[in-house]
């Protein structure tokens, strides 16, 4: 579990990564190298892909600041999770050294910054006698190749850049790509402008079955947004998934009182994703309650709109989604977006969604709702249908 102090430190490091050297130095002075380095190492381990080397290799990661050094040995081998091992059992073949400030910038700074020459690498040990040279040469084809592969795995974790969402979906076991759904291309299109921001994301529905905790999508978002904070909400207890920058919450998406308390404590949100029960009533309750807590410029996403046609989920029959379904909500939002065009408005004061919905982007089974200020005025009152027709004819 992540304690309050660790969460506060992570937030400071995320801010400092895009700030000045003085900001990073201030965090290091207050928290100390050991605590900062532990957070950084945990982030590197999370971002690193699975090892490809077939021979086990120990790689050392050193983090320095001033005259201090924090060192950790990592054992890597294919088909096994990277693990930290004690100094006594480590047989280090490669050592990678970063300054603490350099690693903070790599992990939490702008992803498009150039990051070459800001670290030191050496393959070890350096032989001191002829017999040891011959021994190293004999094992070069296996051990040194494996050491290079393991070092590459570590370096892939020391960056804000990441693979596309389709690849991340497969890596972390999310079903948003090449499974039941093909959503990640749409997510890439709409989420790309947020990549380098310290976003706050809430996803309803953590997934998992029986003894599987799920959480694949939450980890995908954590990796995709290197400066982001991810929260997941589920009806069942998945709090064992909580780790740095990722928090699992327990609650009912159809309970407005609970959702309001959650939003007041953890919001406002830059992005909300509803991948929960997909029951139409629940979808509508969650949207009406949480959309006010999405920041201006943010997005609200609803997945699996096909249940608008499933009667077991409160959907409609006959191929036309009714007003009480999730797609009925989408249709309402399109009307709200154009409320100033209504020639006979039913209300004199715009509703919250009429005032703040600025875009509705619908794809197969998924919709993205943009929030902002819907302030565009309508055509002048004197421009009736006859005038409009005449103008259009010219």
What distances in angstroms separate CA 252 from CA 11, 122, 151, 259, one per listed residue? Answer: 28, 52, 44, 8
Please give, one letter per residue, the 3-state secondary structure of 243-295. Answer: ECCEEEEECCCCCHHHHHHHHHHHCCEEEEEECCCCCHHHHHHHHHHHHHHEE
- Residue count (the chain): 394
Question: With 0-12 CB in 10 A as exposed, 13-18 as middle and 19+ as buried, what is 381?
Answer: exposed
CA distance 212 to 107: 29
Question: Going by C-beta distance under 8 Å and a sequence separation of 6 or more, which residues neighbour residue 283?
Answer: 274, 276, 277, 302, 326, 329
Q: Which of 65, 181, 186, 278 is catalytic?
A: 278
Q: In the annotation, is 364 catalytic? A: no
Mind telling me the catalytic residues? Answer: 278
């Amino acid at each position: 579990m992540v304690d309050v102090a660790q969460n506060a430190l992570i937030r400071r490091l995320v801010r400092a990564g895009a700030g000045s050297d003085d900001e990073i130095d201030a965090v290091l002075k207050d928290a100390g190298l050991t605590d900062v380095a532990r957070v950084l190492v945990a982030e590197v381990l999370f971002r690193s892909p699975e090892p490809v080397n077939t021979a086990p290799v120990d790689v050392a990661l050193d983090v320095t600041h001033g005259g201090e050094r924090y060192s950790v040995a990592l054992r890597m081998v294919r088909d096994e999770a990277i693990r930290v091992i004690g100094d006594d059992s480590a047989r280090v073949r490669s050592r990678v050294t970063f300054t603490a400030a350099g690693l903070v910038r790599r992990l939490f700074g702008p992803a498009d910054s150039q990051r070459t020459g800001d670290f030191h690498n050496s393959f070890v040990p350096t032989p001191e006698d002829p017999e040891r040279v011959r021994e190293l040469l004999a094992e070069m084809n296996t051990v040194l190749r494996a050491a290079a592969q393991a070092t590459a795995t570590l370096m892939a974790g020391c960056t804000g850049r990441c693979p596309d969402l389709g690849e991340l979906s497969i890596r972390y076991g999310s079903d948003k790509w090449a499974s039941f759904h093909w959503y990640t291309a749409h997510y890439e299109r709409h989420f790309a402008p947020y990549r380098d921001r310290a976003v706050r994301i809430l996803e309803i529905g953590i997934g998992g079955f029986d003894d599987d905790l799920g959480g694949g999508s939450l980890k995908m978002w954590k990796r995709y947004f290197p400066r982001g904070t991810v929260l997941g909400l589920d009806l069942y207890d998945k709090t064992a998934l909580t780790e740095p920058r990722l928090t699992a919450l327990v609650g009912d998406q159809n309970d407005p009182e609970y959702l309001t308390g959650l939003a007041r404590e953890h919001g406002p949100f830059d992005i909300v994703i509803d991948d929960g029960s997909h029951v139409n009533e629940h979808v509508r309750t969650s949207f009406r309650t949480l959309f006010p807590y999405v920041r201006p410029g943010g997005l609200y996403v609803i997945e699996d709109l096909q249940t608008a046609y499933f009667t077991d989920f409160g959907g409609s029959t006959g191929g036309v989604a009714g007003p009480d379904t999730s797609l009925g909500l989408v249709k309402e939002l399109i009307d709200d977006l154009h409320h100033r065009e209504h020639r006979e408005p039913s209300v004199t004061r715009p509703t919250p969604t009429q005032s703040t919905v600025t875009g509705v982007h619908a794809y197969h089974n998924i919709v993205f709702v943009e929030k902002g200020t819907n302030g565009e005025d309508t055509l002048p009152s004197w421009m009736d249908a006859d005038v409009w027709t005449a103008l259009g004819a010219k």
